[in-house]
Amino acid sequence: MIRNNITEVEYNVQSTVDAKHNIPIDYKVTNENDTKAMGNMVQRAKSILGTNEFTVLYDKGFHTGSELKTAQDLGVETIVAIPGVPSTSQAPNPLFNYEFFIYKKEDDTYTCPQGQMLRTKFLISIKPSAKHFNDLCKKIFFGYPFAHQKPAIA
């Protein structure tokens, strides 16, 4: 596998297991990046079991939108382990990380941890990311007195 212009010899294994009886149903060994491998494994499991009446558990590295959509399109119940916010995507004050902002779709605003309503002055054509909120925090909160207070989280 090539990662950051470095070739690494490694193998990735995806497996499907009957959780009740702990019996392997299927496995696949590759030497390719496996971040988008679970959709195929869900399709294989559905084919082997002949039903979509099972639950898929995605690990932190497999919760890409395309992989979740594959499971949804197949009608398979999905549980996802969501990773924490990486340190490179955190706000200057971690109490103002994006997970503490509440989005209100009806008026396209965010409410910050201090209860302040934030309106966008431009259209965002992509889903806001951790970097977006990090930049927003730097612009709005960094250096302001209340940025160092504990947020009022309900």
- CA dihedral sign of residues 61, 75, 45, 37: negative
pTM for the model: 0.53
Q: Which of 37, 39, 18 is nearest to 28 (CA)?
A: 37
pLDDT of residue 149: 46
As averages over each run of 10 residues, the pLDDT of the chain (154 residues) reads 75 87 91 82 94 87 79 90 73 80 85 82 52 53 43 45
- CA dihedral sign of residues 127, 128, 130, 132: positive
pLDDT of residue 126: 46
CA atoms of 48 and 27, how far apart (whole Å) = 12
Ordered by start, the domain boundaries in the chain are 2-80, 87-148
CA atoms of 45 and 60, how far apart (whole Å) = 20
pLDDT of residue 146: 44
End-to-end CA distance of the chain: give it in Å, rounded: 45
Beta-bridge partners for 118:
110
pLDDT of residue 1: 62
pLDDT of residue 151: 46
CA atoms of 47 and 43, how far apart (whole Å) = 6
